[in-house]
Amino acid sequence: MIDSNDPTWQAFLAAAKDYIELLDKGGGSDLVETCADLHSSLLELQLAALDLPETTANNEDPAMVTEAKRADRAKLAQTFDMRYVMPEQVLVIPTGLASAEVRVLSEDLADIYDAMQDILALNDQRYLDDAVWQARGGYIEDWGYLVVSVQAALWKYIAEAAIDAEEQNA
């Protein structure tokens, strides 16, 4: 069991709150800068989740104790009107045509946001075992795939914007 004052837990909570705050404040006037900030925030969230100890859920605790705040999906869709492709099995060498799912960036950002809100709600209600389990276990089994996928999409957008800017200045 982890203590609520454990530095790794506090680092995760700070990273989750930073990510939520970035999405709540909305996109600034510079979408490339906003995407770079999100990419950085997701990296911090990923590293913080991986630093958490493995744990099991407390079966005496409810899975969810409160209705956590949800992402404003319409607002995110307006700001991040992007789609991207990420192969479902990136570690498998395809033998034929690789099937890739077209993903909606705003939906993946919202799903990560909702997962962070659920974890924060569990923490606020002092269901620490479940909160840590959802943070670490959820990263490994669920929302971590979204983090990695979104990071790749954001990086590609940022890199292409830099190349376009460089070509315009040449």
Query: From CA 119, how far away is CA 128, in angstroms rounded?
Result: 9
Give the pLDDT confidence of 53-80 residue by residue, as tens digits: 887 766 665 555 556 789 999 999 998 9
Please name which of 139, 141, 121, 146 lies closest in space to residue 63, comparing C-alpha atoms: 121
Give the pLDDT confidence of 101-114 residue by residue, as tens digits: 788 999 999 999 99
Q: How confident is the model at residue 147 (pLDDT cuts 50, 70, 90)?
A: very high
pTM metric for this prediction = 0.86
Q: Which domains does the chain have, with CATH numbers?
A: 7-169 (1.20.120.1550)
Using DSSP's 3-state secondary structure scheme, residue 100 falls into strand
